[in-house]
A and B are shown apart, each in its own frame.
Chain A
Amino acid sequence: MKHYDNGLKHFSLSIIWLWLTVFAMLPFCLVTLASFASHDDAHLLTLPATLINYIHLNNSVYVKIFKQSFYIAGICTLICLLLGYPFAYLIARMQSRFKGLLILLIIIPFWTSSLIRTYSMITMLKPQGVINSMLLWLGVISKPLTLLFTDTSVMIGLVYNLLPFMVLPLLTNIERLDNRLIDAARDLGANRLTTFRKIILPLTMPGILSGSILVFLPAMTIFYIPDLLGGSKSILLGNLIQNQFLIAQNWPLGSAISVVFTLLLAVLLIIYWRSSGNKDSQELL
């Protein structure tokens, strides 16, 4: 136990506690309470308390929706990591006066409405869209390819929108990498691959985890990208919860789904941290 006998600690802790209690814990408690409530035609939430909403969840359709959402988010995270890691690494290790500018240039496209960017992707992927016209003109294909309303188009859209959330945490983490450790490894005869596996990868693990969390979690609940680019032909967790709250007017069931989803992911993450045994990453979140 370290002792910091001055106001800064108390100041920061009280701000954080106040904020998170009021705007994170309290709403979550409200949602949890709502998940045990009933509803009728006139009231969105009412007594008596019941477990029926949780019993409803034991339903093969919901299990399917959960699985599919996990699957899509997992693939998306993996692609973002594979694309984003080398990208972040190259930029972070760059010795250029344009480095700051390059970092800014990563984020600027994302200040344009994601909805409009998604429509712009539709423009490109349409049967008569930019990509097909160009390929036809070049004579690469003789018939328009079906690009839109496929699983591929959904994945392109997701990766496009979430890639910066992988790149930025990685970038700030890799920048801190100590060159001397890499040099030392090379001096001791390690080849590139070994250096990467034994030195660089473990040291950048916190960045990888942060990035993966920031990509994986939103990917599970984002729904307008699968809706627009995939033709809305399946339901993901985001749609499921949204529909229960808005269309079916069943707030208790929507809350129950949300609570179960949160707990499930919490358990998964705890298991992962326990098994990975990486102290730093265990502490993350």
Chain B
Amino acid sequence: MRQFLKSVITLASIFLASISFADDKIVNVYTWSGVIPDSAIRQFEKETGIKVNFSTYDSNEVMYAKLKADKNVEYDVVEPSSYYIDRMRRQGMLQKLDKAKVPYFVNLNPDFLNKSYDPDSSYSIPFIWGITGIFVNNKSHVPASITTWSDVWNKQYANQLLMLDDSREVFSMALRSLGYSANDQNPEHIKQAYLKIKTLLPNIKMFNSSPISLLIDEDATVGMSWNGDFFKAKKENTHLDFIFPKDGFVIWVDNFAIPKGAPHLDNAYKFLNFMLRADVAKAVVLDNAYPTTNLAAQKLLPAEVRNDPIEYPSREIMSHGEFQTDISDDALALYEKYWEKLKMGG
């Protein structure tokens, strides 16, 4: 009861505070859900006296549509994935970053800078990253029997596979297994990928975009997974194995960026710099369990996380990876057309 009263009082004070904050002491942050824990936000507010209006989205597309449709929308910090950085940068939706205002930029791992989706890293600050690979439950299957994407086409997995409910992820898998780039825009190659996925349909049990509980509860015993999600699932079910497909996999990076016309620019920089501070970045990734792009923070992580071969795979393994970049609207339309066909039975 006392705790309840306490929370009522904090609640009331927050509500009042939200009215009385002056306009220059605000920053509007709009990020992927589940990335930044509340504790980090509180710490930033305490240290700087700047109030954070924190809201979240669960797909790049929603964030993009919102910024695109409403020119007056007042976000100061957003967190698009790499291929959306590419798109938004080319469409002039992002503010060029003033690195002098983000001194902790030096903490970042150079492996994630100056990638093709943002050649001079002048619009984006990488924050977390991940790999799409294969999970296997070793009670039901022999993990060693899967080394590449092509192996999941095997008939022994009939009606077993869990697929991510995302057309680009699924097409990337097929494109890599055919030996093409995951960012391939050649209509002929996309068509081949479609035909290949069509033959996979009998193996697919379900599509899902937030599959952690399905892995743990063994609703599916083999399928696609992000390494960060897998790391969380493994803590609750030890029978899970992760495979980095030898025919190549996608690396995604979620990056901070500042939209053009952000109303609280200075506070946005303060927020970004705070997030790049080693101790903060460490606390954040300990909470969300995704691999960090922050080298200084990575060094501070407990050894069992830092040395986890799934979270931070070796350079040899990483060499099979490919960063996700944007594709043209024509290619997207093609993906969507084939995706609809696939879901309606081929």
Contact = CB atoms under 8 A, between A and B. Distances in A.
Interface of A: 39-42, 44, 61-62, 64-65, 68, 126-128, 148-149, 227-228, 231-235, 240, 243-250
Given A232-B207, A232-B208, A250-B336, A39 B167 contact: no
Given A234-B343, A246-B61, A247-B61, A148 B219 contact: yes
Contacts of B344: 61, 64-65, 68, 234-235
B23 interface: no
Interface in B148-179: 165, 167
Contacts of B69: 44
Contacts of B218: 127-128
B219 A126 contact: yes
A126 to B, nearest CB: 6
A249 B341 contact: no
A244 B59 CA distance: 14
Interface of B: 59, 61-62, 65, 68-69, 90-91, 165, 167, 204-208, 217-219, 328-329, 332-333, 335-336, 339-341, 343-345
B217 A128 contact: yes
Contacts of B61: 246-247, 249
A101 B269 CA distance: 55
A40 B343 contact: no
A233 B332 contact: no
B100 to A, nearest CB: 30
A244 B329 CA distance: 11
Contact of B329 (A41, A234, A235, A245): A41
Contacts of A44: 65, 68-69
18 contacts: A39-B329, A42-B91, A44-B69, A61-B341, A68-B344, A126-B219, A231-B207, A232-B165, A233-B206, A233-B343, A234-B343, A246-B59, A246-B65, A247-B332, A247-B335, A248-B329, A250-B329, A250-B332
Nearest to B326: A41
Contacts of B343: 232-235
A248 B219 contact: no
A41 B335 CA distance: 15
B68 A232 contact: no
Contact of A227 (B165, B204, B329): B165
A151 B145 CA distance: 33
Nearest to A244: B336
Contacts of B167: 247
A233 B62 contact: no
B97 to A, nearest CB: 22
Given A247-B61, A248-B332, 9 more contacts: A39-B329, A41-B328, A61-B340, A148-B219, A149-B206, A227-B207, A245-B65, A246-B62, A247-B332
Pick the 7 closest A-B CB pairs, nearest first: A231-B206, A246-B61, A248-B336, A232-B207, A235-B343, A41-B329, A232-B165
B165 to A, nearest CB: 5
Nearest to B166: A247
B236 to A, nearest CB: 14
- Of A41, A227, A228, A240, most buried by chain B (CB within 10 Å of CB) is A41
A71 B65 CA distance: 31
A248 B335 CA distance: 8
A64 B345 CA distance: 10
A247 B69 CA distance: 15
B208 A231 contact: yes
Contacts of A41: 90-91, 328-329
Contacts of A39: 329
Nearest to B341: A61
B44 to A, nearest CB: 29
A41 B88 CA distance: 11
A235 B165 contact: no
A128 B208 CA distance: 19
A182 to B, nearest CB: 49
B62 A243 contact: no
A237 to B, nearest CB: 12
Nearest to A231: B206
A80 B243 CA distance: 46
Nearest to A245: B65
A243 B339 contact: yes
A231 B205 contact: yes
A228 B206 CA distance: 9
Nearest to A235: B343
- Of B91, B165, B167, B329, most buried by chain A (CB within 10 Å of CB) is B329
